[in-house]
């Protein structure tokens, strides 16, 4: 199948019959008990969120499908999906949803639930470890480069030690150490 065919064809997921016996009816209530799901039930599956998403074309489950899966109670599939972690948190979907469903924020809730169940991808754990060790994910440009760009030699207000101290008291620390 060519790339064009893949992008313009019908979704390849959720076409297979759903095994009703595997649905977790409490999952939707679990998500709804969190602060971002006030309008979840208002979703009418218009797919605007997916149309707005810059990377949905490479996702197995598209944003509108994930929202539908949450409503249906497909807990295992949602919390084990790579998509919730691949989300760029750009909020394009959420901004455009005509029903005011907080798509991006709901994906954050899913990540929190996945973390509670120990379903965090190893690359995300790796990023957390890096953050705890260095206080930043990306090395700040060297002093001489900043000077060449006409910037102050040091980044104003940057304290990686403070970041490290704060992170040690958070759940990120427990996650990295395998305590969550
Ligand atoms: S844009 Fe909003 S209403 Fe439309 S499918 Fe996405 S979440 Fe549902
Ligand atoms: S926030 Fe995530 S799901 Fe929404 S448009 Fe951006 S990448 Fe896609």
pLDDT digits (tens, 9 = 90+) for 11-32: 555 567 888 888 998 999 999 9
Name the closest ligand to CA 43. Answer: 1
Q: Is the dihedral of CA 107, 136, 127, 119 positive or negative?
A: negative
Which atom of ligand 2 lies nearest, measured to the CA of 103? Answer: 4
Delimit the domains of the chain by residue range: 22-116, 122-176
- pLDDT of the residue at 10: 47
- Does the pTM surpass 0.75? The reply is yes
CA of 33 to the centre of ligand 1 (A): 20
Residue located nearest, by CA, to atom 4 of ligand 2: 93
Name the closest ligand to CA 96. Answer: 1
Residue located nearest, by CA, to atom 5 of ligand 1: 45
CA of 1 to the centre of ligand 1 (A): 28
Residue 108 and residue 106: Cα distance in Å, rounded? 5
Identify the CATH assignment for 22-116 out of 1.10.1060.10, 3.50.40.10, 1.10.1040.10, 1.10.260.40.
1.10.1060.10
Residue located nearest, by CA, to atom 5 of ligand 2: 53
- Residue 1: pLDDT band with limits 50, 70, 90: very low
Query: Hey, what long-range contacts does 47-50 have (CB within 8 A, 24 or more apart)?
Result: 48/93, 48/96, 48/97, 48/98, 49/93, 49/94, 49/96, 49/97, 49/101, 49/103, 50/93
Residue 40's Cβ-count burial label (10 Å; 0-12, 13-18, 19+) is buried
Q: Is 97 in the pocket of ligand 2 (CB under 6 A)?
A: no
Tell me which residue of 58, 57, 60 sits closest to 16, measured CA to CA.
60
């Amino acid at each position: 199948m060519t790339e064009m065919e893949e992008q313009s064809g019908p979704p390849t997921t959720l076409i297979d019959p759903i095994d009703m016996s595997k649905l977790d009816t409490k999952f939707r209530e679990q998500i709804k008990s969190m602060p971002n799901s006030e309008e979840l039930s208002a979703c009418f599956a218009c797919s605007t969120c997916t149309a707005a998403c810059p990377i949905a074309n490479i996702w197995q489950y598209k944003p509108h499908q994930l929202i539908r899966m949450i409503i249906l109670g497909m807990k295992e599939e949602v919390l084990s999906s790579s998509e919730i972690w691949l989300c760029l948190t750009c909020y394009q979907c959420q901004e455009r949803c005509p029903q005011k469903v907080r798509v991006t924020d709901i994906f954050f809730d899913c990540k929190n639930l996945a973390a509670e169940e120990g379903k965090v991808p190893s690359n995300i754990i790796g990023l957390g470890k890096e953050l705890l060790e260095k206080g930043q994910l990306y090395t700040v440009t060297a002093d001489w480069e900043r000077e060449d760009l006409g910037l102050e030699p040091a980044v104003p207000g940057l304290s990686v030690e403070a970041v490290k101290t704060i992170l040690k008291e958070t759940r990120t620390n427990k996650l990295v150490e395998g305590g969550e």
